[in-house]
Amino acid sequence: MSDVLRELTEAGVSVWLDDISRDRLRTGNLETLVKDFHVRGVTSNPTIFAHAVSKGNAYEDQVKDLALRGVSVEEAMRMITTYDIRWACDVLRPVYDESGGVDGRVSIEVDPRLARETAKTVAEAKQLWWLVDRPNLFIKIPATAPGIPAITATLAEGISVNVTLIFSLQRYAEVIDAFMAGLEQAAANGHDISKMASVASFFVSRVDTEVDKRLDKIATPEAHALRGKAKGAKVQRPLWASTSTKDPAFPDTMYVVDLVVADTVNTMPEATLHATADHGVLRGDTVHGTYDESRALFASLERLGISYDDVVQVLEDEGVSKFEVSWNEMIETIRNELSLNS
């Protein structure tokens, strides 16, 4: 049998899992995915944690202890999420060591309610970095306008950053500038920048979903032909996020096999991971040589009245808002559990 995920890894695409939970950790599932499915990193977000905390009883013992200590809901959230992230960092540590710090990374996101507040984002990033206390941690910071200087300031502290919620080339250029400035400041502050890293997360399926929604409203043959084409693959080393297909009309491995290029990361839910292993077919480098085709695609969208700039702004706003909703759901779940155990 072919080992598609190994082939993907050998093509220079690092396979990361877009999920985490206490159950996944304590059952050894994550270790199995690292060993047998070539998983080389883990990403999390508020929606993933909200789902994990609300299901089953995996967090019951820790919640009871936190309730006995009388900690606040906010502090309980930090203790619960950083516990899982620390554990995952330890599982991925061999990959981190073997890859020289390129892979083996685990990401945790700052409170999304701080996405428009630079100083508070930096303060929260420093707190999470201190709590997890693992060199293979990534702190996720959204690429909002106030998030850009927060990225620089966080990197300046010697903290590795996963920049999330990127949808446009313009914002990506700002992220690159923030990354370079952060490294310069980190070096000036005495940090060993050779141990630091950063990835830039493009939410590819969300772009297609929003564009396709607008194309469906136009409902012409030309509009229909453009559905599912706005993947926006770039030559820079990005992290392809949100790689499960949202439209059942599209192949479930589309955002994996269509985004194969060296020095990238593809972070996928376990279902997409298994789908790729089962029936994914790689076609070599699917990014280089497509620049003119991509420009023509965006020109076609503009002719139909679909502004890419407007699409990405809508997605940025929605992305932050959705994570805020998930964060608040997790707050309520933990508040209720603390109350029951106090």
Catalytically active residues are 140
Q: Is 235 helix (H, G, I), strand (E, B) or coil?
A: coil
Residues 113-147 as b/e (b if ≥16 CB within 10 A, e otherwise) read: bbbebbebbbbbbeebbebbebbbbbbbbbbbebb
Pairwise CA distance, residues 261 & 25, whole Å: 30
Measured CA to CA in angstroms, residue 19 lies from 39, 88, 113, 251, 264 at distances of: 12, 11, 21, 21, 19
Alpha-carbon distance 166 to 232, whole Å?
Answer: 11
Closest CA to 229 of 277, 313, 295: 295
Ordered alpha helix ranges (H), the chain: 4-10, 22-26, 29-36, 46-54, 60-69, 73-98, 118-132, 147-156, 169-188, 204-218, 221-225, 254-257, 270-279, 291-303, 308-341
Cα 225–Cα 226–Cα 227 angle in degrees, nearest 5 = 95
* Cα 124 to Cα 101: distance, rounded to the nearest angstrom: 23
Among 103, 100, 78, which residue's Cα sits nearest to residue 91? Answer: 103
Contact 235, 261 (CB under 8 A): yes
Round to whole Å and give the CA distance between 256 and 8.
9
- Is residue 157 within 8 Å of residue 187, measured between CB atoms? no
Amino acid identity, residue 208?
D
DSSP character at residue 238: -
